[in-house]
Structure 1
Amino acid sequence: MRGEAGIGKSALLSEAAWSAAEQQLRVLRTAGVQSEAQIAFAGLHQLLRPVLDQVERLPQPQRGAVLAAFGRTDAAVPDLYLIALATLSMLGEVATQAPILLVVEDAQWLDRPSADVLLFVARRLAEEPVVMLAALRDGFDTSFDGGGLPELALPRLDRASAELLLDRRAPGLRPEVRQRVLSEAAGNPLALVELPAGDVTAPTAMLPLTARLEQAFAARMSGLPVATQAVVLVAALNDGDALSETLAAATVVAGEQRTVDDLEPAISARLVQTDGERVRFLHPLMRSAIHQRASLGQRHRAHAALAHVLAHDDDRRVWHRAASMARPDEAVAAELEAAAVRAQRRGGIAAGVAAMERSAALSSDPALRGERLLRGAELAFELGQRDAVVRLLTAAERLELSGRQRWRTAWIRDSFDDGVLGRAQAAWSLAQVAERAAAEDPDLALNLLYGAALRCWWTEPGVEARASVVAAAGRVPVDDNDPRLLVVLAYTSPVECGEVVMSRLRRQPGDLDARALRMLGNAAMAVGAFDLAAGFFATSLVELRTQGRLALLARALTLQAWSCAHLVDLNVAVPAADEAYRLARDTSQPVVAATARATQAVLAALRGDQDGVYRLAAEAEAWAMPAATHAVLSAVQFARGLAALGDGRHEDAVADLRRIYDPADPAYHQANRCWAFGDLVEAAVRSGRPEAVSGLMAEMTAVARRTPSPPLQHGLRYARALLAPDAEAQPLYEATLQADVGAWPFPRARVQLGYGEWLRRQRRVAESRAHLRAAREAFDASGTIPWGDRARAELRASGETSRRRVPDARDQLTPQELQIAQMAADGLTNREIGQRLYLSHRTIGSHLHRIFPKLGIASRSELRTALQPSV
């Protein structure tokens, strides 16, 4: 629910909670508090506190993640999304006892980790007896924005409803006062209730409504006893709601005992309420009004008292201590730095940013201030918070930074947005900085070069910039087989460095971790070694899933899908691309999401889904075009060209694919042009315009002398056969068929189809049938429907009838259902599948319940047979 302050969000949530409790639902509540936004997982802990006893029912990795996030153990939190999965699992367990309503008030003030977890959970509640209601105040940027959740916008009351409410709550107002309240409230329910209690004759109409309401609350505060005002001020500044904490801190401020009796006047004035254990303001504006009304000295004393009372809680204590400081204090700055480290270990990166920034502000040593600003910027960079990165770097650059700090500044500033946005010449400048950093800090140099290499991959910085990155990489003192070095070379110069990268990829040891495997997969993908890339990614995914590293998992899945799309392994590519897109959205990675969408467009082309191709391609293009993201735009054109080729629209295919080879076109890409050449030549030949590629034939032949890229080498062999005169074609087709294509059955089937067509045109019909049959069977097995239909049509023309293709699981199941069915066929339980896919076991069960009738089976034991491709 969205709306302005006072529009009735809290009232609606309270009504929903009351109704749910009446119907025997279990109600779990949390509320964002401005001062709590720096404490990682504070909101989530408040929500789950009543059911934390259920944590023991979770699998160990999830149990450990939750306990670490809530500070119950000293272990580092593995990843925020493992905590999210644990939260989903815990709610699922609790919901077996009674349905659950989750109520989230003032979600705009939730700490970022809690908000991210709750958004993740909300997207996965469809199969659970759990409902989440969250209230957001207008004017705030939150994790929920664009989250895809249903929204209810609450408007102001119309005139008749406003009059009815006012007359019920404040009957007997003089006509001029009643008219003034109606005018100033302007349909805001809270204003209609609260403004009559204040001085409505004061000239406040020029103030914003929230300010007028705060004045009304502040005026109510001024009539309270001094002791009550002190207790209420402490409660307003406390980031917790425990009554005992508030009374203890108020006692410290006053120097004499304060009790719950001191709160009674504030309760009577409808400022706060308490159940004897917790104290709660009736509206968040009351808290801010009291905060603004207090003097700076009063606030400092209250924060200092809270810090004294919270000696047992290091994180909360240091924030209150910092809020009580009027001047720099190195001891407090150091404590805040330690709090930032703890927040980072617990997965609270946003809290770490805030702690580092405040620590820098309290630093008396300029060198320490600069270092803390840079560390804060690095954490903000990790979160993708551009404004925070710029603000912190700008502050740091005003100081006297060391050479290494300046290098780090360059890396953070110029490597933002995965190398997509910003100045194209940044690749060159990063290479220069990396050269200076190489001897002193090789790891930093490789980070700088990775940022430069990403720019070379996503955009087109020019030959000189690419050469400077490769040269700088050669001067970094690391092992030649270092995966970080290989991905820099492959992304920067996939043609010139292709042979070196491929030879080193084959020399890699077998005991690498997920990070190294993912980098090797990136490098293999960039140079066209898609079979190697698919293997590296498949191995890395196991560890990434276990660690709950969803951002990296989304990237690995995207490139696994892209590699398997080129291998035409649709059983892997289709579910990988679907999951990659969903996770990229969950983890706010638009570049990855666009790449996954472009990959899905390619897969739709291979399947013959013409509508899907153009819809998915348009989505990817809409993001990639403003940023001139060459890699995504070339993938979009590849998908469109492949779709046109499969549909027999050969002129369109030439026009679409030709753009990938034009250096002046934003779809031009050095690597992608190596992968689509056979398709372009086939489209040109079938359109009757082979001359359209004659110049490119010479160009790509020269490129092939510099790289062993398998798709380019095969594409050129196929192109030569297609372009050859009839007297020379046969040996070229046969040589192409005899070439080792390893894990590339689809390109071989394409050649068999082309050779069979050529043989039939030469009136060698009997010879053509064997090749056409083999092509048909390969296309049916791979699920490439348009090419299978073409092979059938050619066989019919040769006088042979083919049986109709039988739809298989890929035709009947959604990508996610296919993935779940494959895992179940491999023997995984519902819980194990849920843990891998970040879904609850109940959701997996619901999917299987729908999968079985689609496949015409009744049990898991039949899945493996049902998933076999129809041939």
Structure 2
Amino acid sequence: MPLFGRDAEREVLDRFIGRPEDGAGLLIHGEAGIGKSALVAEAVRAASDAGLRVLTATGVEAEQNLPYAGLHQLLYPVRAGLDALPHPQRDALRGALGLADAAGPSAYLVGLAALSLLAEEAAARPLLVVAEDAQWLDGASADVLAFVARRIDSEPIALIATLREGERSPLCDAGLTPMPLDRLSGEDAAGLLDSIAPRLAPETRARLLREAAGNPLALTELPAAAGDLGDLDPVPPLNDRLERAFTARVAALPAPARTALLVAALNQSDSAAEVLAATGLVSGSAAEPEILTPAVEARLIEPVAGAVTFRHPLMRSAIPAASPPAECRRAHLALAETLRDQPDRRAWHRAAATAGTDEDVAAELDHAADRARHRGAVAAAVAALEQAARLSETQDRLALRLLRAAELAIESGRRDTAERLVRDAQALGLPPRRRATASWLLSVFEDGVREDVSRVAELAELAGSVAADGHIEPAVRILWGAAMRCFWCEPGPRARRSLLEVADQLPVPADDPRLVAVSAYVAPFERAATVLDGLRRLAAVTGADPETDRFLGSASLQVGAFDLAARFSTAAAPGLRAQGRLGQLPRALAVQAWSLTRLGDLAAARPAAAEAAKLAQETGQPFMYGLAKAVQAEIAALRGDHQEAGILADEAERIGLAACARPVLATVRLARGLTALSEGRFDDAFAELSRMLDPADPAYQLALRAYCLAELTEAAVRAGRAAAMRDVLREMEALAVVSPSPALHIGLRYARAVLAPSEEAEPLFTAALRADLTGWPAERGRLHLAYGEWLRRQRRVVESRAHLRTARETFDALGLAAWSERARRELRSAGESSPNRGPDAREKLTAHELSIAQLAAEGLTNREIGQRLYLSHRTVGTHLHRIFPKLGVSSRADLARTLQTREETPA
């Protein structure tokens, strides 16, 4: 049958199918019956004609809670390629699909495996991947498809998804090009109706056109039921009319066919063998395939061998809705009996057949949740636990299951679900420990950024009471969550003291990494000595646990040990990648980028910040995204790209201001201050940077405010605000008495020398340069620059040149273009010219290209790079083909030589 009124959409599809090598995706969305499936069928025919291989998955409402059911549909035809995948990917995907036992594979690692498998298949023959009714795909499959959709731009893979209007799916945010389908025009609707029912009486034709209102399914299906529907007043919604039409058609079938159709509608599979077996159990006699013939003739199901496929999802949903509950229960029980070898499906059917409570069935669902969690399908585990809670026979088990489900919902980022589950549990009147768990769970999202700061003190009290009851691990978790809030917000000294009091009383070793991190977040100066001792001891065993390394990197940043912060976070990233923990990875990368930028290693900081921003956005972490964007703004300012720095800072500020995320706003101020310094706007620079010191300003962050003293001092001196800076210095000197923070003391040594009277400055500069600056090349370069400038002003021009030359060479090596230009200007004033600085090889590449190029230069294969960056190895190859001409190289060896950095930055 021709498609009416879809010429424009067909042209788009023809172009889309005609260029699969471009790697692209479409999201076709519209109301039920609007013709999404018909359009997809047309695309599938065109793809087959063009030589593409087609892989499909169709969401089924009854399968939403079966983990990876949709992915199994999609990849089953290409499962032979699993064995060629790298071991971690192969094991994760086999575990997700239930083909092997794998403990908790990450959805992202499963996604990378699916991407690799599809890319390999597409290399042999371009692919069209189709995901129909995405709103009903199980959550794990939808997440994997969204992951794949974001990464097919360099693969010969075209992806089409369909989504019912008003529904949500992870595919909505996967970068697919939207294709909305509207109702047909009057002319097209009339043409379609006449092609279906050419001999309708004029009044019936007019009525059907009016009631169908341009919906193709209604125009196709309502003519057969025009007499059954009668004159309905008021006219019910279109979906209701269609469902009545379908149920009227079902009612006309023989009883055995009706029973078989009900079983098929309730089944979580299209297996005809399962339907016939369960139908036989309901009726008490064997059911043969012919029992379904009347349903085929009534155009309710498709004549497909071995399968029972409904012609439209509305037909499937209409049948149980119109059936008596007792008949539905019998059908579910029959299916449960048929599926004894499939415990997850059996558990769901038994649950659907249970009207009241039943602890045995609830226990089966508990086991189903465990299996789903074991396979990494958190959404399915949440659904199973929530259903088990409904069937629980005691209030305590009901509460426990709700809270377990809430905790898993938090793990998967489903805030609305978690909050609803916790509220349901709280309404039961929980005992103290359960109340503590519920209270803590509601505080997990976004590190409490949007919560009232009084919540920190409440959490401290909660942690103390939980610990007093002997529950130490939950107490530590609550305390850690409260400490994190001290980074994002400012709860005040009283709340901070209350957290320290609880931490000090916990029966946990003082060198426990969690307590070290808590102390760093809560008291970054008062406890800095203890924290730094603990961090330096723990630095000897990095790599054992990536999660521990991640929060120790964060702790190092709080106390100004940026070298340790970079070390811990760099160590954390590979483990988090290998485990597929993309929710935690952007946090490690953001700390890594922030610290490396402060140290001056822009070559490593740029790709880390870019990847942190990308992954934070993909995993729904807006404040980590804002922090990464702010770091990118700082990097752009240091590279002298002031326009880009302004754009990035504006974006980060919008995110940070939305909830007063202080680290984001502090980093924005730093980026803007650096830009103003580079442009010679010293008053603006001092104003921007000073905001970090004002407790009333949202950019005030207790720890970070003390780690930009060099920039603030320079701005103050050049803006004629040296007196104001000396006031700041007195406050910071008081902190330095109790804190050995490296960043604080480096900044103070710089500030003392620059602010000192001429007769006192030289020994202060000398002392600052004699200090241990191993791993802090940017700070050493800044000191040489300031000392050279001072010497020139003292008319000691010859002596100044060595320091200015060292500063220029340092900043050139680090890619700090704004600072190297300033060193050049000073050298010219000192009577020495400088060679023109051509763009460094790294500066010719985007941050993403730089990341790939550096890994290739280290000797990693395309496949290994792909595993690191969650790309297919073919995408990596495509990028390298672009990178080589940019850099004028033709081999990996040339690439390594071109990107080779100096072992030691000039001192």
* TM superposition score category, shorter chain reference: over 0.9
How far apart are 1:588 and its partner, in Å?
A: 2.1
Which range moves more in the overlay, 420-429 or 700-709? 700-709
Alignment match, 1:479: 509
Alignment match, 2:291: 262
Alignment match, 2:590: 558
Q: What does 1:505-584 correspond to in 2, within 5 Å? A: 505-508=535-538, 509-510=540-541, 512-584=544-616
Question: What is the alpha-carbon distance in structure 1 between the residues aligned to residue 649 and residue 320 of structure 2?
Answer: 52
Which range moves more in the overlay, 93-102 or 24-33? 93-102
The list of structure 1 runs, each at least 4 consecutive aligned residues, that deviate by more than 6 angstroms after superposition, is none
Alignment match, 1:492: 522
Is 1:864 matched up with 2:896?
yes
- Partner of residue 281 from structure 1, selected from 291, 295, 310: 310
- Partner of residue 297 from structure 1, selected from 321, 326, 342: 326
Question: What is the alpha-carbon distance in structure 1 between the residues aligned to residue 671 and residue 242 of structure 2?
Answer: 57
- Partner of residue 692 from structure 2, selected from 650, 653, 660: 660
How far apart are 1:390 and its partner, in Å?
A: 1.8
Question: What is the alpha-carbon distance in structure 2 between the residues aligned to residue 463 and residue 582 of structure 1?
Answer: 35
Question: What is the alpha-carbon distance in structure 2 between the residues aligned to residue 296 and residue 707 of structure 1?
Answer: 71
Question: What is the alpha-carbon distance in structure 2 between the residues aligned to residue 625 and residue 167 of structure 1?
Answer: 58
How far apart are 1:704 and its partner, in Å?
A: 2.0
Which range moves more in the overlay, 781-790 or 387-396? 387-396
Question: What is the alpha-carbon distance in structure 1 between the residues aligned to residue 30 and residue 790 of structure 2?
Answer: 68
SS at match of 2:798: helix
SS at match of 2:172: coil
- Partner of residue 349 from structure 2, selected from 306, 310, 320: 320
Is 1:123 matched up with 2:150?
yes
Which range moves more in the overlay, 698-707 or 443-452? 698-707
Which range moves more in the overlay, 443-452 or 213-222? 213-222
How far apart are 1:869 and its partner, in Å?
A: 5.0
How far apart are 1:560 and its partner, in Å?
A: 1.0
How far apart are 1:400 and its partner, in Å?
A: 4.2
Is 1:222 matched up with 2:251?
yes
Is 1:411 matched up with 2:440?
yes
Is 1:368 matched up with 2:397?
yes
Alignment match, 1:379: 408
Alignment match, 1:133: 160
Equivalent residues of 2:149, 2:174 under 8 A apart: no
Alignment match, 2:49: 22
How far apart are 1:206 and its partner, in Å?
A: 4.3
Equivalent residues of 2:59, 2:135 under 8 A apart: yes
How far apart are 1:461 and its partner, in Å?
A: 1.2
Which range moves more in the overlay, 772-781 or 16-25? 16-25
Q: What's the CA shift string for 1:453-492, capped at 9, x where partnerless?
A: 1111101111111111111111111111111111111112
Q: What does 1:98-497 correspond to in 2, within 5 Å? A: 98-199=125-226, 201-203=230-232, 206-439=235-468, 440-497=470-527
SS at match of 2:805: helix
Alignment match, 2:785: 753
Amino acid at match of 2:716: A
Question: What is the alpha-carbon distance in structure 2 between the residues aligned to residue 471 and residue 337 of structure 1?
Answer: 39
Equivalent residues of 1:420, 1:454 under 8 A apart: no
Residue 703 to residue 205, structure 1, CA distance change in 2 (3 Å): farther
How far apart are 1:735 and its partner, in Å?
A: 2.0
Equivalent residues of 2:332, 2:353 under 8 A apart: yes
Amino acid at match of 1:46: Q
Equivalent residues of 1:204, 1:212 under 8 A apart: no
Amino acid at match of 1:341: D
Question: What is the alpha-carbon distance in structure 1 between the residues aligned to residue 102 and residue 877 of structure 2?
Answer: 33
Is 1:836 matched up with 2:868?
yes
How far apart are 1:557 and its partner, in Å?
A: 1.2
Question: What is the alpha-carbon distance in structure 2 between the residues aligned to residue 540 and residue 831 of structure 1?
Answer: 21
Question: What is the alpha-carbon distance in structure 2 between the residues aligned to residue 278 and residue 309 of structure 1?
Answer: 16
- Partner of residue 743 from structure 1, selected from 758, 771, 775: 775
Alignment match, 1:55: 82
Residue 89 to residue 219, structure 1, CA distance change in 2 (3 Å): same
How far apart are 1:30 and its partner, in Å?
A: 0.4
SS at match of 1:135: strand
Question: What is the alpha-carbon distance in structure 2 between the residues aligned to residue 510 and residue 746 of structure 1?
Answer: 27
Alignment match, 1:795: 827
Stretches of structure 2 that go unaligned for 5 or more consecutive residues are 1-27
Equivalent residues of 2:96, 2:105 under 8 A apart: no
TM value normalised by structure 2: 0.94
SS at match of 1:705: helix
Question: What is the alpha-carbon distance in structure 2 between the residues aligned to residue 665 and residue 166 of structure 1?
Answer: 66
Is 1:851 matched up with 2:883?
yes
SS at match of 1:27: strand
SS at match of 2:738: coil
Question: What is the alpha-carbon distance in structure 2 between the residues aligned to residue 198 and residue 204 of structure 1?
Answer: 17
Question: What is the alpha-carbon distance in structure 2 between the residues aligned to residue 155 and residue 763 of structure 1?
Answer: 78
Question: What is the alpha-carbon distance in structure 2 between the residues aligned to residue 456 and residue 231 of structure 1?
Answer: 61
Is 1:785 matched up with 2:799?
no
How far apart are 1:690 and its partner, in Å?
A: 2.1
How far apart are 1:396 and its partner, in Å?
A: 1.3
Question: What is the alpha-carbon distance in structure 1 between the residues aligned to residue 197 and residue 523 of structure 2?
Answer: 75
TM value normalised by structure 1: 0.98
Alignment match, 1:6: 33
SS at match of 1:134: strand
Amino acid at match of 1:82: L
Question: What is the alpha-carbon distance in structure 1 between the residues aligned to residue 263 and residue 620 of structure 2?
Answer: 38
Question: What is the alpha-carbon distance in structure 1 between the residues aligned to residue 685 and residue 810 of structure 2?
Answer: 23
Stretches of structure 1 that go unaligned for 5 or more consecutive residues are none
Question: What is the alpha-carbon distance in structure 2 between the residues aligned to residue 54 and residue 676 of structure 1?
Answer: 53
Equivalent residues of 1:808, 1:869 under 8 A apart: no
Equivalent residues of 2:405, 2:421 under 8 A apart: yes
SS at match of 1:663: coil
Amino acid at match of 1:764: R
Amino acid at match of 2:727: G
Q: What's the CA shift string for 1:806-845, capped at 9, x where partnerless?
A: 2112210111111111111111111111111111111111
Question: What is the alpha-carbon distance in structure 1 between the residues aligned to residue 525 and residue 444 of structure 2?
Answer: 23
How far apart are 1:204 and its partner, in Å?
A: 5.7
SS at match of 1:577: helix
Question: What is the alpha-carbon distance in structure 2 between the residues aligned to residue 120 and residue 462 of structure 1?
Answer: 41
Residue 163 to residue 548, structure 1, CA distance change in 2 (3 Å): same
Which range moves more in the overlay, 741-750 or 138-147? 138-147
Which range moves more in the overlay, 692-701 or 492-501? 692-701
Amino acid at match of 2:128: L
* Count of equivalent residues: 871
Alignment match, 2:16: none
Amino acid at match of 1:255: G
How far apart are 1:633 and its partner, in Å?
A: 1.2
Q: What's the CA shift string for 1:127-154, capped at 9, x where partnerless?
A: 2111110001111122123332221111
How far apart are 1:648 and its partner, in Å?
A: 1.7
Which range moves more in the overlay, 799-808 or 418-427? 418-427
Equivalent residues of 2:357, 2:393 under 8 A apart: yes
Q: What's the CA shift string for 1:507-550, capped at 9, x where partnerless?
A: 22526321222221121112111111111122222222222222
Equivalent residues of 2:446, 2:621 under 8 A apart: no
How far apart are 1:504 and its partner, in Å?
A: 1.1
Q: What's the CA shift string for 1:145-188, capped at 9, x where partnerless?
A: 33322211112222222222222222233333323222222222
Equivalent residues of 1:638, 1:657 under 8 A apart: yes
SS at match of 1:125: coil
Question: What is the alpha-carbon distance in structure 2 between the residues aligned to residue 868 and residue 649 of structure 1?
Answer: 35
Question: What is the alpha-carbon distance in structure 2 between the residues aligned to residue 859 and residue 721 of structure 1?
Answer: 48
Alignment match, 2:103: 76
- Partner of residue 715 from structure 1, selected from 724, 747, 756: 747
